[in-house]
Amino acid sequence: MSEHPTTDNEWIGGFHAVASALECGRPIRRLWLAEGRRNGRAEELTARAEAADVPVDTAPMGRLDDWLPGVRHQGCVAEVEPPREYRESELPGLLHAVDNPWVLALDQVQDPHNLGACLRSAAAAGVTAVIAPRKRAAGLTASARKVAAGAAERVPFVPVTNLSRALKRLQDDGFWVVGLDGTADTPLYAADLPSPLVWVAGGEAKGIRELTAKHCDLLVAIPMAAGMESLNVSVATGIALFETVRQRR
């Protein structure tokens, strides 16, 4: 039986995440299913894996738990090639390859579950790329990819060395930078969102950092009922992204 690799970036868990990886053509070394828990979803995924020449094996549920601690893998784990990490220098090419590109920038989002949820919303909304600081921020761990439910394979995730510098370069390239800030005077639904656009969402603790906010062309707030101060970053991001989709349509 295969030994656990040295990094959880070589594992994904959950039927949806594994099925999405197969659909996207991501190289899968082996699919593992929990012993004695075969069902319709397992049989369907087995058939798809075998059709793609992916070996399928079984292991005790406890072994799968050890391989992916803290991840609700549903008795379905895949050993995969390490995910492609986009370089910061590749970002301009990604953006110039599509019409009307837009970007989601995450300012020190540290919870991998929030990162995964943001990636899922970004993929569903059609965002061209997601950028985030390389340090003091969540990366594409197994937990993030599980929550993303295949979105990590659909929308490029680009770690950047310095987020403020990256935003400035995007502005120089013609992008407008709009930040989500609960204290902003402009309500989201009153803003005429420009294009091409970069949305900036802040981390869990304090939201957008002051230095990052200074690089925004506009700050907007999501209107909320009295007594509510803020929303979870992934919820706020989803609202902003789909308001953008609504305006673009």
* Segment 33-92, tens digit of pLDDT: 999 877 888 999 999 999 999 999 999 999 999 888 878 899 999 988 766 779 999 999
**CB under 8 Å to 21, separation ≥6 — which residues?**
12, 28, 78, 80, 150, 153
Cα separation of 58 and 36, whole Å?
9
Q: Give Dmax over CA atoms of the chain in angstroms.
A: 59
Q: Residue ranges of the domains in the chain?
A: 8-80, 88-248
Give 21's pLDDT tier (boundaries 50, 70, 90). confident
User: What count of other Cβ atoms lies within 10 Å of the Cβ of residue 89?
Assistant: 8
The CATH classification number of 88-248 equals: 3.40.1280.10
Amino acid found at 205: A
Does the pTM surpass 0.85? The reply is no
CATH superfamily membership of 8-80: Ribosomal protein L30/S12 (3.30.1330.30)
pLDDT tens-digit series, residues 130-173: 999 998 888 887 778 778 777 777 899 999 999 999 999 999 99
Out of 41-55, 115-129, 171-185, 214-228, which region has the weakest mean confidence (pLDDT)? 214-228
